[in-house]
Amino acid sequence: MLDKTVLEAEQSWPSVAKILYVPHGDTEYQRLVAVLDQLIDEVGEDETHPLASLMEVIGVLIEKYEDDHVPEL
């Protein structure tokens, strides 16, 4: 049985999944980078902003994709 928090997440997930996902190709990666750019514009360096942790998670997903798929210069 799912707890209340997970059930609430299930209800929100269809909307959130449009901007929070593991990129599996260049198109998904580029879309995620565009989302991060928008979040940076909105959040800046305000660690108390409600979207600050989303920005951090997306940054980690992008970094992982780059580590796995983008050759080092």
7-29 pLDDT, tens digit each: 999 999 999 999 999 999 999 99
| Alpha-carbon gap, residue 65 to 45, rounded angstroms | 23
What's the total number of domains in the chain?
1
Beta-carbon contacts of residue 59 (< 8 Å; ≥ 6 apart): 36
Structural domain of residue 48, as residue ranges? 20-69
Looking at residues 51-58, what average pLDDT do you find?
97
Evaluate the CA torsion angle 49, 25, 18, 42 in order and state its sign: positive
In a domain, 10, yes or no: no
For the entire predicted model, the pTM comes to 0.88
In a domain, 12, yes or no: no
Residue 25: closest CA among 72, 73, 70, 58 = 70
pLDDT band (50, 70, 90) for residue 2 = confident
**First-to-last C-alpha distance (Å) of the chain:** 49
Token representation of residue 12: 């929100």
In a domain, 54, yes or no: yes
